[in-house]
Amino acid sequence: MRTAYTSAVQTLIDELGRLPGIGPKSAQRIAFHLLKLPSHETTQLAAAITEAKARVKFCQRCFNISEQDECELCSDHRRDPTLLCVVEEPRDIMALEKTREFRGRYHVLGGAISPIAGVGPEQLRISELLRRINNENVAEVICCTNPNIEGEATAMYLARLIEPLGVAVTRIASGLPVGGDLEYADELTLSRALEGRQRLAAT
């Protein structure tokens, strides 16, 4: 089947369509928007992507995004090192930081357990989490995984691993809608969810 677009345009649409949350029609709209822009603006965009890819890496301690070996949150000595908040992705940290309620540190798993998607515990940064708990005298782990099936399964799995270590494991309260994502929740909802966190039973 022949396409109505030139190969260069179709390639651009195809690449944009590979981005999360971008369907074929959205990819097409973005592609034509980019083609309408002045050349210097598309060059700036391409340069920004290239520079971010070159400079940004994962924090060696919590796996948040950072331009240094250790991110600003981990290197901030004012934060409570005994309180560790576990999230799925770096963007979840940004959502929680907007609440100005949490003053501990974070750990990014890099996803959630999802057998359907082929993601098991070994694909997540769980061994690094356990190592931090042992080395950093963590007293409480707050599971801030997303309130969906994968997030709940991941939280329960972590509770079974961590509770025998004598560390309290809590889960953010149910102020968040089931099936929702942390990054889309407002600051007030997240604040109340943090305040109302409950002990997470491993059984």
Among the listed ranges 7-11, 67-71, 125-129, 194-198, which one has the minimum average pLDDT value? 194-198
CA–CA separation, 27 and 23 (whole Å): 6
pLDDT at position 61, please?
Answer: 95
In percent, the amount of the chain with pLDDT more than 70 equals 88
What are the helix (H) ranges across the chain?
Answer: 7-17, 24-36, 39-55, 90-97, 126-135, 149-162, 187-195
CA–CA separation, 50 and 180 (whole Å): 31
Query: Residue 1: which pLDDT band, with cuts at 50, 70 and 90?
Result: very low
pLDDT at position 199, please?
Answer: 73
The helix/strand/coil state of 86 is strand
CA–CA separation, 200 and 159 (whole Å): 7
Pairing of strands 65-66, 57-58: antiparallel
| pLDDT tens column, 48-101 | 999 999 999 999 999 999 999 999 999 999 999 999 999 999 999 999 999 888
Query: Residue 108: which pLDDT band, with cuts at 50, 70 and 90?
Result: very high
101 and 195 Cβ atoms separated by less than 8 Å: yes
Residue 121 is classified by DSSP as G
Query: What is the distance of C-alpha 10 from the center of its chain?
Result: 31
